[in-house]
Amino acid sequence: MTRALETESHDTATEHTAASRSEEAEQSRLDEIFTFQELARLDEALTMSSRETGLRFTLYIGDLGKRTRVQAEEMHARSGAHPADSVLIAVSPGQKVVEVVTGAGASRRLPDRACALAVLSMTTSFANGDLVGGIINGLRQLSDQAGHPASLRRH
Partner 1 sequence: MNTVEVLLVLVGIPLAVIAVLALLTLPGGRKRTRYKPGQPWDHAPVWYEPHPEHPVDTGHGPAPSSGPAAVPGASTAALGSSVYPEQPGERNTDSQDGAGPAAGQGASAHGASVAPRRVDAGPLGGARGTW
Site for partner 1 in 48-77 (CB under 8 A): 49-51, 56-63, 68-69, 72-77
Between residue 91 and residue 110, which ones bind partner 1 under the rule CB under 8 A? Answer: 92-107, 110
Q: Looking at 9-143, which runs of residues are DSSP E strands?
A: 56-61, 86-92, 97-102
Span 108-127, contacts to partner 1 by CB under 8 A: 110-112, 115-116, 118-120, 122-124, 126-127
30-49 residues in contact with partner 1 (CB under 8 A) are 30-33, 35, 39, 42-43, 46-47, 49
Q: How far is the CB of 42 from partner 1 (least distance, A)?
A: 6
CB of 14 to partner 1, least distance (A): 17
Pairing type for strands 86-92 and 56-61 reads parallel
Of 14 and 36, which has the nearer Cβ to partner 1? 36
Pairing outcome for strands 56-61 and 97-102: unpaired
- Can you list the positions of beta strands (E) in 7-145? 56-61, 86-92, 97-102
> Applying CB under 8 A, does 16 fall inside the site for partner 1?
no
- CB within 8 A of 154, min separation 6: which ones? none
Nearest distance in Å: CB 15, partner 1: 20
**The one among 10, 16, 66, 78 contacting partner 1 by CB under 8 A:** 78
Q: Give the CA dihedral 98, 104, 105, 107, nearest 10 degrees.
A: 40
Reference 152, options 83, 54, 82; nearest CA is 54
